[in-house]
Structures are given as C-alpha cells and as structure tokens.
Amino acid sequence: MSARSLDGTATATRIRAELADRIARFTAAAGRPPALGIVLAGDDPASQIYVSNKLRTAGEAGCRAELFRLPADASLDDTLAVVARLNADEAFDGILVQSPLPKGMGRDAEQRVFDAVSPAKDVDGFHAQNVGLLVQKRARLVACTPSGVMQLLAREGIALAGKRAVVIGRSDIVGKPMALLLLHQDATVTICHSRTPDVAALASEADILVAAVGRPAYVTPAYVKPGATVIDVGINRVDDAALVANWYPEGHPRRLQFEKKRTLVIGDVYPAVWAVAGAVTPVPGGVGPLTIAMLLANTVTAAEARAGLLSAD
Amino acid sequence: MSARSLDGTATATRIRAELADRIARFTAAAGRPPALGIVLAGDDPASQIYVSNKLRTAGEAGCRAELFRLPADASLDDTLAVVARLNADEAFDGILVQSPLPKGMGRDAEQRVFDAVSPAKDVDGFHAQNVGLLVQKRARLVACTPSGVMQLLAREGIALAGKRAVVIGRSDIVGKPMALLLLHQDATVTICHSRTPDVAALASEADILVAAVGRPAYVTPAYVKPGATVIDVGINRVDDAALVANWYPEGHPRRLQFEKKRTLVIGDVYPAVWAVAGAVTPVPGGVGPLTIAMLLANTVTAAEARAGLLSAD
C-alpha cells in the first residue's frame, strides 16, 4: 500500500469552494442563481441516489436545482416534452437527463433525449455539438467524469506532456473524451478496449493509466508500471464474498465493511495495485465526487455563457 | 521494394463507378443532379489546382459543381455571406470552402466559415456537429481524407479488429478523425505527435501506421514493423536536390523526374520503407485520389439525406 491516494473528495471540495465565488457573482449580476433542471424518469434506485446527490450538491453550492419527475411508464414524447420546456425556459441554465431511461421508451431513447437538449444547456456534455467542440479543443461543456479526472491530475501536479497515457474503455461518456482531453494536454494516448488482445502489456507501458472498464478489480498489478498514476473510473457493486476475500485480507477495513453490509462498491482496479502504482484514485472517494463537482462547474459555466458573462475563449 | 502498393487511384475509380449509380438514381428521383458549391477566396495557386480537380471530378461523375469566387481582398463577412446563400439555396446539397482563406480575413476565419456551413451540407465533415457524430459512431459526413483511408483499407482486405494502429499527427482534419475511425473498427489506437518522445519506438509496434505529419520522408524504416501497412497522408513539395539524392538512387524514375522538373511531390514516408513494410500507399496515387472520391461520396450522401432518400442508420 505504497501509492499516494489521489483524494477526489478533497479536490471536489476545493472545486466547489472556487465555484462559490463564481456563483455569487453570477447571482448578483443576473438577479437569480444558476439553475439546473434534472429530469428523472422511472424509479431506478441507483438513479434516485445519484439524482438526490446532484440536487443536494447544487443546492448547497447556492445554485437552484429542480427535479422533474416522470413515471416509469412515461413515453419518450413525454420526456422530450419536458426537455423542450426546459430548453425554452430562460430561467434554466443547465439540463441533465438521468440515465438509464425506462426500457419502455425504446432502445435509442437516451440518444434522442440527449440530442434534444440545447447544446448551450448541455451540462452533461453529451450533445454531438459539444463533443465535436471537444475534439476541436474549444469545448465549454465537457463530459463530467473525464473533465473531473483532468482537474484532479492538474491539481495533483501530475505531468502529462510527453507522457504515455493508456485509457482502457472507449465509451462515449468516459473513454473517448478522456483520450481526447489527455491528447490535448500533449500525452501520447492509446485506447484499449474489449477487442485489444493484450491489454496488460499495453497498460503496463502507461505513465497514466485510466481504467473505465466497469469490471470489478479488472486492473491487476500486471497492468501497472511501477510508479504509474492509476485513475479508477469504475464503480462496481459486488455481493460475492469469495471475490472480496480474494481482494482484501482478513481484518482489512474494506473486508469488515463487506462482512457487515454483505455488499461493497469496488473500482476497476485490483487492491494490490496500490503496492505497485505511484498514485491511485480510491473508490469510493476518487473520481465519483469529481464528477458531481464538474456537473456543478458546467452548470455555472453554462449560466455565465448564457448571460454573456464569459469572455470569448 | 517488396511492399505491395495500395493503389488509391484504382480504388478511387471504383468508388466513383459505384457512386455513378447512386447519382443516376438521385437525379431521376429529384429531377436534378446532386449539387456541390465550392467557395474559393483569393488566388493561391495550389488551391486553384485542388478546386479545379474537385470541380472536374464532380462534373465528370454527373454532379453539378459550381465555383463561387471571391477576390483575395474579400472580407470574412463577404465569405460568410456566400456560405449563407448556399446554405439557404435548396438547389445545393454540399458546400466546400477551400482553405487556406486569405490571411487578411483574420486568424480564426476558417473556423468561423466552417462553423457557418450547414451541418447537412458539410461535405468536408468539419462542422462540430458532424465531428461529434463521428465520435458517437453515427456520422454521415466524415472528413474526406480519413474516410478515404478507411475505404482503401476495407477494399484492400486489411484487417483492423484487434490490430495495433498508430496515427502520427493529431490534426482535426486527419489525425483525430483517423484515430476515431480506426477505433470504431476495433483497432487498438495510439496517437503520436510532436510532443511524443520516441515516435519510432511506438510506430514500429503498429500493424497499421498512418503518417499524417506533413514532413517529407519523416517515417524511416526504423518506424516500421516488418510487414506493416503504411498509409502515407503527406503531400510535400521538395525542391532540394540533396534531399532527393538521399531518397532515390541515381537513375531511379522519381530522381529522373526531379532532375527534369527540379521539384518533386513526396509523402511523409521515406522511400526505403517499401523494403520493410507489407503494403504502402504511394505518393502520388495513394491517399490523394481517395480524398476527392470521398468528397464526391459525401456530396451524394448529403443529397440523398436532404431528399429523404437515405434509410435511417
């Protein structure tokens, strides 16, 4: 357990403190706080927790955050209607549609709803327009998880220029934007994925390794160059005692935690990686808090941009 | 000189032949051929050659192609006005603004003009909306050079899934879209650039190596794994006899060509790479002809999409 812990909770707290000043200035200038509308359809328990965290964080920071609920049997059109109303409502700066949407809305429902959000209010950074601007290195609203990781790397003083970065995972919301952001900071970036034959060999060349696989403890020490920075994006819930016993020795606080609750949240990074890496983001308390902080940052940025308070960049 | 030559001219001819059928069907259905408007400001000699090639190719294929010229001292607003007119003109399916724009229009003139082109008519694939759709693997209009390379790789039967691909260069119009397209075909992709410390070491791990550097003969044999496929995107004009003498032995046809014309177009790939690689795109006659063929393909795709002739994909 020699690696430095990259404390996402502390960094997120600092980010929120810095935003407080921008929020106060916006509120004074605009006569109202930055406002975020969150659309939640159905009653997925995890979604409800995520949404209440987002609402609380925004509210505590001095933003207005309002929840728009739809029943589990709501139609795609119902959802699109709420988004259209929030797009048109001048009093809202940011719109977030919590995924997943209920399956009854159809297979491409999420894409259609994300496409419907006005790019100027797209605090998730999922709209094609904002994704394209990211490629062109001129985005204001960037997906929250990868931009949170960039904040953490910058504030922890981890050099990127000229370094090898390997991103495992190629999702639209983490892997691909993460690779672009690292590239724009002059890292040499490789994207590995399910079709890569020998991920461990490539990953172990990385100075910065980002695991966004969604498989508990996928990244073993064999994937990690000694001293590397390892960013664990995974949030996996595990209920299997045998797995937990593999990862943590008897008496380890995490194992005790599991034995009490019979469930544990674990990242994509195998615990033994801490003995090899130079720095690791813990799960929980690493990337997760940063994601919510960046949602807040995007809401403030959207509000400032809409009010003409941002200088051209 | 053992590598197979990947004949871009022949592939471009096949692509154009396949488009002839779509052009005929569109013309019958719409009562007019697909139409491309090209905007050319100033009198850069290379631009004039590019534009006349594009006009000729489109015309020969049965498209309507019209040139809109602006003087070298035209303003950015003049150029934007032409684009706005073409956006609004239902008779035009595609709009291409030839770069570079005259320096007098300002530093960000190209970006502003590209942003002004309607995404539905953006046959260059430069608009942020289309770039974002590319990231999300659902673009219809993709930058011509990288999409031409993908056509060549597919038609030459070069496997990509599970292979290592290295792209040297990270421009918005070649390097980044190239990396995304290769990723979407399940290659494991690395992007190298000017800040990468040891490009040769990384490049020489590639099964597919794309050189988009813009430096003549940059990729030497040390950059190439034996048997690799090497895609040469560079088009560099060289006037230095000493350089040419380095690359080609006395009596070599390319050296004789230089001695006659005192100038030579050479790619980013060192000639001796042909002795190491498995397959190489020649310059000229490799990627260049494909770029123009894909401009034509994009024009036809834009026309079909605008007329509702494309099935949803």
Is B75 near chain A, with CB under 8 Å?
no
Q: Render pLDDT for A42-81 as a digit per residue (tens, 0 to 9).
A: 999 999 999 999 999 999 999 999 999 999 999 999 999 9
- Which residue of the set A93, A98, A121, A225 is catalytic? A98
Give the residue from chain B lying closest to A202, CA to CA. Answer: B188
Cα–Cα distance for residue pair B5/B156, rounded to 1 Å? 10
Residues of B that are catalytic:
54, 98, 124
Whether residue A178 is predicted with pLDDT greater than 60 in this model: the reply is yes
Query: Average pLDDT, stretch A132-155?
Result: 98
Chain A residues within 8 A of B136 when measuring between CB atoms: 111, 128, 131, 172
Is A171 near chain B, with CB under 8 Å?
no
Whether residue A312 is predicted with pLDDT greater than 80 in this model: the reply is no
Per-chain mean pLDDT for chain A: 96
Give how far Cα A256 sits from Cα of A221, A244, A267, A283, Å.
23, 10, 17, 16
Question: pLDDT-derived band of residue B226, with 50, 70 and 90 as boundaries?
Answer: very high
Whether residue A167 is predicted with pLDDT greater than 60 in this model: the reply is yes
Query: Average pLDDT, stretch A252-263?
Result: 95
Whole-number percent of chain A with pLDDT over 70? 99
Can you give the pLDDT at residue A1? 60
Question: pLDDT-derived band of residue B309, with 50, 70 and 90 as boundaries?
Answer: confident
Q: Assess if CATH 3.40.50.920 describes domain B28-120.
A: no
Cα–Cα distance for residue pair A257/A236, rounded to 1 Å? 15
The interaxial angle of helices B144-155 and B8-30, nearest 10 deg, is: 110
Place of tokens 């813009």: B214
Asked if A27-118 and A144-288 have one fold, the answer is yes
Can you give the pLDDT at residue B1? 61
Per-chain mean pLDDT for chain B: 96
Whether residue A23 is predicted with pLDDT greater than 90 in this model: the reply is yes
Q: Render pLDDT for B13-67 as a digit per residue (tens, 0 to 9).
A: 999 999 999 999 999 999 999 999 999 999 999 999 999 999 999 999 999 999 9
Q: Measured between CB atoms, which of B134, B190, B193 is closest to A190?
A: B190
Give the residue from chain B lying closest to A175, CA to CA. Answer: B135
Q: Render pLDDT for B258-272 as a digit per residue (tens, 0 to 9).
A: 999 999 999 999 999
Claim: this prediction has a pTM higher than 0.90: yes
Query: Average pLDDT, stretch A141-162?
Result: 98
Q: Measured between CB atoms, which of A188, A193, A195 is closest to B190?
A: A188
Q: Render pLDDT for B60-94 as a digit per residue (tens, 0 to 9).
A: 999 999 999 999 999 999 999 999 999 999 999 99
Is B135 near chain A, with CB under 8 Å?
yes
Q: Helical H runs in chain B?
A: 8-30, 45-60, 76-88, 109-116, 128-135, 144-155, 175-184, 199-203, 241-247, 253-261, 287-306
Report the Cα–Cα distance between both ends of chain A, in Å, rounded: 42
Q: Measured between CB atoms, which of B162, B180, B195 is closest to A195?
A: B162
Interchain CB distance below 8 Å, B128 and A132: yes
Is B172 near chain A, with CB under 8 Å?
yes
Query: Average pLDDT, stretch B172-181?
Result: 98
Query: Average pLDDT, stretch A280-289?
Result: 96
Chain A residues within 8 A of B172 when measuring between CB atoms: 135-136
Can you give the pLDDT at residue B38? 98
Q: Are A262 and A239 contacting, i.e. CB atoms less than 8 angstroms apart? A: yes
Interchain CB distance below 8 Å, B172 and A129: no
Q: Measured between CB atoms, which of B162, B180, B192 is closest to A196?
A: B162
Interchain CB distance below 8 Å, A188 and B170: no
Can you give the pLDDT at residue B311? 63
Can you give the pLDDT at residue B32? 97
CATH class of the domain whose range is B144-288: alpha beta
Considering the segment(s) A27-118 as one domain, its CATH architecture is 3-Layer(aba) Sandwich (3.40)
CA angle B76, B82, B85 (to 5 degrees): 140
- With 0-12 / 13-18 / 19 or more C-beta atoms within 10 angstroms meaning exposed / middle / buried, residue A305 is middle
What is the value of ipTM here, to two decimals?
0.96
Q: Measured between CB atoms, which of B111, B176, B189 is closest to A191?
A: B189
Chain B residues within 8 A of A108 when measuring between CB atoms: none
Can you give the pLDDT at residue B310? 76
Interchain CB distance below 8 Å, A162 and B129: no
Can you give the pLDDT at residue A311? 63
In chain B, what are the domain boundaries?
28-120, 144-288
Interchain CB distance below 8 Å, B162 and A130: no
Q: Render pLDDT for A93-110 as a digit per residue (tens, 0 to 9).
A: 999 999 999 999 998 999
Is A28 near chain B, with CB under 8 Å?
no
Cα–Cα distance for residue pair A53/A289, rounded to 1 Å? 10
Q: Which residues between 185 and 224 in chain A have a beta carbon less than 8 angstroms from any beta carbon of chain B?
A: 186, 188-193, 195-197, 202
Distance from CA of B191 to the nearest CA of A (A): 6
Q: Which helix (H) or strand (E) holds A174?
A: none
User: What residues contact residue A209 under an 8 Å CB cut-off, 6+ apart?
Assistant: A165, A166, A168, A203, A219, A223, A224, A225, A228, A229, A230, A231
